[in-house]
Amino acid sequence: MKDIGQHLASLAITAWVGSLWAISYIAAPILFYRQPDRQLAGNLAGHMFSAMNDIGLVCGVYLLTYLFWRFGRAASRQPIFRVSALMLLITMAMLLYFEPTMNALKADALPLDVMHSNLAARFRMLHGISQMLALIESLLGVFLAIRNRAS
């Protein structure tokens, strides 16, 4: 029988990976498809991604803490720990570098939309890198969800 910690770990994985998939591959694309104002769509998507990263931070910290509590020093040899740690590193990069840098570029471009400013190339580069990292994190999340199911 699973302990309460394992149940909470399963919920953390569900919330983390579910928010990644729901926001990245459902909500944001629909927002850009349905909202004619691209600047508004981008700002709203940015808020959703920020919330998604906050969820990832909380869930990732809980998951690593639980796994360390459960396995002790051997936790670092567990694939689920390594994948969770990598996902958390990506989340932290999003929260600590990509989000603030992209938000600063948007603010610096005002009154123009960043995509119509001289900062557009840098913004596009950061956006592309963050999209690749989100894809990697989403794929790692598949492993995490499947691996958790098997344990």
Would the pLDDT of 148 be above 90? no
Would the pLDDT of 1 be above 80? no
Split at pLDDT 50, 70, 90, the class of 2 is: low
pLDDT of 44-60, one tens digit each?
A: 999 999 999 999 999 99
DSSP string, the chain: ---HHHHHHHHHHHHHHHHHHHIIIIIHHHHHHH-S-HHHHHHHHHHHHHHHHHHHHHHHHHHHHHHHHHHGGGGGGSHHHHHHHHHHHHHHHIIIIIHHHHHHHHHHHTTS-GGGSTTHHHHHHHHHHHHHHHHHHHHHHHHHHHHHHH-
pLDDT of 4-56, one tens digit each?
A: 989 999 999 999 999 999 999 999 999 999 999 988 999 999 999 999 999 99
pTM: 0.91
Would the pLDDT of 93 be above 60? yes
Structure tokens at 143: 């492993």
The predicted pLDDT at position 150 comes to 45
Please return the burial class of 74, using the count of CB atoms within 10 Å of its CB with bins 0-12, 13-18 and 19+.
exposed
Report the C-alpha dihedral over residues 72, 73, 76, 81, rounded to 10 degrees.
Answer: 10
Cα distance between residue 22 and residue 52, in whole Å: 9
Split at pLDDT 50, 70, 90, the class of 149 is: low
The predicted pLDDT at position 151 comes to 54
Question: How much of the chain exceeds pLDDT 70, in percent?
Answer: 97
The predicted pLDDT at position 41 comes to 93
